[in-house]
Amino acid sequence: MFLIEDERSLENEYLQKGYIVRPAADLDALNWIRSRFIDLIGESIDVKFDSRPEEILNLIHESVPITKLNEFRLKIIRGLNSIENIREMYFRVARPYLETLVGNELAMQLRINLSIQIPGDVSSLLPVHADTWSGDSPFEVVVWLPLVDCYATKSMYILPPKSSEKLSQNFVEQAGNSSEDLYQSIKNDIQWLEVRYGEVLVFNQALPHGNRLNEESETRWSMNCRFKGVFTPYGDKKIGEFFEPITLRAASKTGMAYRHPILIVA
């Protein structure tokens, strides 16, 4: 393979760990995104903020009760995905890592997802799962972007590739009767990820992952969005319905438009 040293290093880390954490490739784009969130929060709740962005986000549970959280989250998500250029700015934060790990002709999820997990909230739990179990393509990666420092139970966990392979070979025995049974069978092998604001996580969504009860004193804010190679196989989520090409190259455009000459035989 004709990869340069930095590309081989990134690839090897991703293959061995199932993820990479790196500094945001475009910090200005990330800061722009977080500023838009602060604007959306101000439009969604009647609270005056004099604090720094990280304090507003980390302590949002002091202004939004659990009973209002889902309504608040949906309002923020709708506002987020209506912002012009939001997907382009999101892409910029991870672009060089995606081009190394996935390719330079990419399809991107049409909508960006948002997770808000306040301390002690049992309604925001994401049981252990792999996205491929529900029909996602194994050729996808997830770009997970925190708006605050995420660590310990304020973050997410992932099952490393070797342990995941072991689980796949013994799934019936380990799965039990519920997702909690499955989690208990792998909890000693999972890895909790630390991703600080200013960093970006790219992970293999075919590996089991999830979150648990946030036992920290701060609220987690994280976005996630899927990317894949335009010409790699799609699962249940199709191009045009769930994905959109974002970096098609000239040769692909001309190749897709090409038609053989029409030959008329007299």
- Which residues face 210 on adjacent strands? 157
Q: Rounded distance, CA 179 to CA 240, Å?
A: 32
Has residue 265 been placed in a domain? no
Has residue 42 been placed in a domain? yes
Domain that holds residue 76: 5-257
Q: In the chain, what's the furthest Cα-to-Cα distance? A: 81
Has residue 266 been placed in a domain? no
Domain holding 132: CATH number? 2.60.120.620
Least confident of 48-52, 55-59, 190-194, 257-261: 48-52
Has residue 38 been placed in a domain? yes
Q: Which amino acid is at 170?
A: N
Q: Are 213 and 120 in contact (CB under 8 A)?
A: yes
> What is the pLDDT confidence band of residue 49, given thresholds at 50, 70 and 90?
low
Has residue 115 been placed in a domain? yes
What pLDDT score does 51 carry? 76
Give me the number of domains the chain comprises. Answer: 1
Q: Does pLDDT of 122 surpass 70? A: yes
Has residue 28 been placed in a domain? yes
Based on its alpha-carbon atoms, the radius of gyration of the chain, rounded to whole angstroms, reads 20
3-state secondary structure of 247: coil
Has residue 127 been placed in a domain? yes
**In 34-181, at which residue ranges do the beta strands (DSSP E only) sit?**
106-109, 113-117, 141-146, 157-158
Has residue 204 been placed in a domain? yes
Q: Rounded distance, CA 125 to CA 211, Å?
A: 6
Can you tell me the mean pLDDT for 106-124? 95
Six-digit token string for 229: 């190679």
> What is the pLDDT confidence band of residue 48, given thresholds at 50, 70 and 90?
low
Structure confidence by residue, pLDDT tens digits, 142-181: 999 999 999 999 999 999 999 999 999 999 888 888 999 9
Helix axes 86-101, 27-44, angle to 10 degrees: 140
3-state secondary structure of 16: helix
> What is the pLDDT confidence band of residue 198, given thresholds at 50, 70 and 90?
very high
Q: Cα–Cα–Cα angle for 126, 196, 69, nearest 5°?
A: 40
Q: Does pLDDT of 265 surpass 90? A: no
